[in-house]
Amino acid sequence: MEEVLAEELDDEEQLVRRHRKEKKELQAKIQGMKNAVPKNDKKRRKQLTEEVAKLEKEMEQKHREELEHLKLASKENKIDSVAVNISNMVLESQPPRISKAQKRREKKAALEKEREERIAEAETENLSGARCREAEKLAQILAARELEIKQIPSDGHCMYRALEDQLRDQDCALTVPALRKQTADYMQSHAEDFLPFLTNPSTGDMYTPEEFGKYCEDIVNTAAWGGQLELRALSHILQTPIEILQADSPPIIVGEEYPKNPLILVYMRHAYGLGEHYNSVTRLVNSATENCS
């Protein structure tokens, strides 16, 4: 029993030491991120503050969960120790067996290790992989047009919010709910233009009128993500071209038949964990280049 207690104390001490080391490493990483952002770039400083808060919160939660797992394992160890002692007294001649609790702990430890590795890989990818490369390319494309990204929340309404922002610059006060309602109404009244492009993901068949009706209802009543079809409808509603800038493809313009200056959106494939996202743009006020190092 004393050996079990000693092992538990040793395990806890090792865990605390590792947590201290990880916190120091995180602080060093955060400092490096801060050094890479110009002090006068308020927008990126704000983004950096949000990213730092997220990293610190994730580490705090991870450390808390590891301590809770250790305490749970400690209780199970005590129970297992008593059970083993009794078993040894009664069945000394039988070979040792791995307890179910031990198997559960080993399985839990393996899953936790795998989860931590996935998190680490994802974070590395976020900082230096596809998301960073996409941001750098877009920054160059926009800078050539004296523009920069204006961040839009990732809440399912991003496309409509980006258009709302663009319209605001043209003294048009259409809101996200109004844009969604007009989009659904237009698509329903021109179903023949949109229905052929919508298919049931389960069957691969073209939407039935009932399914199309539900699709349009979701545009109005939910945070359903907007895409190419909705942009086409909105270009007709607003009688304005809409230009979509991308990192790895030429710009897409819908509503080219209209002579007005286009509303400009930025389409990002790797912006967030869920992937696709729309942002707005604004005039470039800071010439500092993007840096993800």
* Secondary structure letter of residue 53 according to DSSP: H
Structure tokens at 75: 């209780």
Provide the H-helix boundaries in 169-290.
176-189, 191-194, 209-221, 228-238
State the number of CA atoms in the 13 A half-sphere of 260 facing the CB: 16
Q: Which residues contact 180 (CB under 8 A, 6 or more apart)?
A: 157, 160, 219, 220
Instruction: Tell me the chain's radius of gyration from C-alpha atoms.
Output: 28
Residues annotated as catalytic (active site), given as ranges: 155, 158, 277
C-alpha–C-alpha distance, residues 13 and 250, integer Å: 56
C-alpha–C-alpha distance, residues 118 and 126, integer Å: 12
